[in-house]
Amino acid sequence: MKLGTRGRYAVMAMVDLGLNDGMHPVRLADVSDRQEIPLSYLEQLFARLRRHGLVRSVRGPGGGYLLAHPAHRISIMDVVAAVDEPTQVTRCQSESPSRGCMANRTRCRTHDLWAGLGNHIETYLDGVTLEDVCRGPQPAATHYLDHNATSPLRSEARKAASQAMACAGNASSVHRHGRHARSLIEDAREIVASYVGCSPLEVVFTSGGTEANNLALLGPDTRRVLVSAIEHPSVARAVSSAVTIPVDHHGRVDLEALEAELAHGGGPALVSVMAANNETGVVQPLEDVVHVARQHGALVHCDAVQAAGRYCGAWQEADLVSLSAHKFGGMTGAGALIVRDGVPLAARSRGGGQEYGLRAGTESLAAIAAFGAAVTAARGDDTARLRRLRDDMEARMLDAVPDAVIFSGDAGRLDNTLAIAHPDIDAETMVMSFDLDCVAISAGSACSSGRMEPSSVIEAMGFPSLSRHAVRLSLGWSSTPEDCDAAVRAWKAAHVRHQTRRKTA
Ligand code: PLP
């Protein structure tokens, strides 16, 4: 695509105005000098920009032009459109399907290709504002160590999603488009089922982990719900009357307390214990949890959102299991609840009969197709590689700050997760400091209404004084040794900055 001179010059001139402080009008003669655009040409362009309400003129000495709106409210496409510059990439002048670009009035074979490209360009230019261009490229957080928050989309998942997006069908429709959509969903269901070791009939697609957890906790007809003290809020807050089972200082659920609570009686119970914790990575003794629960006739739900795609284990034995695609390279917007055959569950959403009547609503085709592709790709991941990277990074960070605290380090942990606290630097400062050094990590504590709340997980483990200090570094399929080197550098830099501040205070 070749953007014409008018559009390019208009954007350059508008950016010139945007770089001005906005208080003083800019003379077109100055813009002409700086941008090397003929003055007479600029005058014509500005007449159009003014007519479209993008600039206003100030007359008299010291006069010139000002942006008519703040730079963040003017898109590049606004400017290009104002000077009538078509972002035309097809030689076909006609948009009418009946009038083609060939001599015989048919369309050339590549018409739709170029027309699609033209639409993409316009959408792109619409999404970029004058302010974006004036600000210039921002240093991105180029080292991403926040896979437990969300993992970058895998190329396999992107491809599956984009192929699915080409399918117009609703999986509930009986025509060929619908049947195609249905087959993509059923393929993904088979992949998920084979990974978990269950029947495809036991896989209920949801919009993600939160919805799966809510369905699991609210769907069964149980009188008592028991949850561990370090569950994700989508479990912990699902049932207000739930009994909390404490964890030890590694973050592992107290099996004796669980057994004692179940032994109290009081009707059918549901026990919900996660497979691996999102903040510390600690792996729960799920085999024992299932054993204890079954002895007391209780159902077991396992939030395997952080475990799935990373390791297989006893979580697969639970009666209900939650999964989320975006934690291991799928898209947000797809997850699943595994509902083992015979587990009584009532739907929480009413509507169509999708997902065996347990989750009404049209399935998100692209996200589900990407889910299947991400599961297949994740099965080939070398998790030992991540463990080596994590362990080495952890050792170097401890070396630099020997009184730093590692959480759940002596317990079984996910290979990809490191939760660490610098005793003198709070988590928020540490995350910002890493961000300055282009490394993306997370705070254990959550931000709520603009205030940093202490990490409830670290508190439940018995470290209240460190609950505002714990940060999480989480690796994944895209992590490299360079990411870990950058993290160690950022950690050391934060430590040095802190020491310097303390000396000068
Ligand atoms: N469960 C755990 C352990 C999580 O870490 C998360 C997300 O961070 C969720 C559930 C929620 O998953 P989703 O983001 O797919 O709703």
CATH number at residue 463: 3.90.1150.10
Check pocket membership of 306 for ligand 1, CB cut-off 6 A: yes
pLDDT at 121 over 80: yes
Residues 391 and 336 in one domain: no
pLDDT at 117 over 70: yes
Residues 97 and 244 in one domain: no
pLDDT band at 88 (very low <50, low <70, confident <90, very high): low
Task: Point out the least confidently predicted range of 120-129, 238-247, 367-376.
Answer: 120-129
Residues 329 and 347 in one domain: yes
Average pLDDT over residues 277-287: 97
Average pLDDT, rounded, for the chain: 92
The CA 391 to ligand 1 mean position distance, Å, reads 25
The CA 210 to ligand 1 mean position distance, Å, reads 6
pLDDT at 109: 80
CATH number at residue 92: 1.10.10.10
Residues 49 and 100 in one domain: yes
Q: Is 447 a residue of the active site? A: yes
Residues 99 and 168 in one domain: no
Check pocket membership of 274 for ligand 1, CB cut-off 6 A: yes
Query: How many residues belong to the chain?
Result: 505
Q: Which ligand 1 atom sits closest to the C-alpha of 332?
A: 15
pLDDT digits (tens, 9 = 90+) for 169-192: 999 999 999 999 999 999 999 999
Indicate the residue among 378, 409, 433 that finishes a domain: 378
- For atom 12 of ligand 1, which residue has the closest CA? 209
pLDDT digits (tens, 9 = 90+) for 178-232: 999 999 999 999 999 999 999 999 999 999 999 999 999 999 988 899 999 999 9
Q: How far is CA 314 from CA 148, 155, 226, 301, 304, in A?
A: 20, 29, 19, 12, 10
Residues 338 and 407 in one domain: no
Check pocket membership of 281 for ligand 1, CB cut-off 6 A: no
pLDDT at 249: 97
User: How far is Cα 443 from Cα 467, in angstroms, rounded to an integer?
Assistant: 10
Residues 165 and 102 in one domain: no
In the chain, the number of structural domains is 3
Residues 321 and 372 in one domain: yes
Q: Which residues of 462-483 are buried (b: 16+ CB within 10 A; e: fewer)?
A: ebeebbbbbbbbbbbbebeeeb
Average pLDDT over residues 485-498: 95
Strands 335-339 and 203-206: antiparallel
User: How far is Cα 346 from Cα 120, in angstroms, rounded to an integer?
Assistant: 43
The CA 360 to ligand 1 mean position distance, Å, reads 21
Check pocket membership of 305 for ligand 1, CB cut-off 6 A: yes
CATH number at residue 217: 3.40.640.10
Residues 333 and 389 in one domain: no
pLDDT digits (tens, 9 = 90+) for 427-465: 999 999 999 899 999 997 665 555 568 999 999 999 999
Residues 365 and 464 in one domain: no
Tokens 């990277």 belong to residue: 389
Check pocket membership of 232 for ligand 1, CB cut-off 6 A: yes
The CA 324 to ligand 1 mean position distance, Å, reads 7
pLDDT digits (tens, 9 = 90+) for 305-361: 999 999 999 999 999 999 999 999 999 999 999 999 999 999 998 999 999 999 999
Task: From 377, 373, 372, 364, select the one nearest 333 (Cα to Cα).
Answer: 364
pLDDT band at 116 (very low <50, low <70, confident <90, very high): confident
% the chain with pLDDT above 90 = 79
Residues 69 and 193 in one domain: no
Q: Which ligand 1 atom sits closest to the C-alpha of 326?
A: 15
Indicate the residue among 317, 346, 378 that finishes a domain: 378
Interior angle at CA 447, CA 443 and CA 449, nearest 5: 175
Taking the CA atoms of 269, 275, 278 and 280 in sequence, report the sign of the dihedral they define: positive
Residues 192 and 330 in one domain: yes
Indicate the residue among 342, 358, 378 that finishes a domain: 378
Domain, as residue range, for 82: 5-135
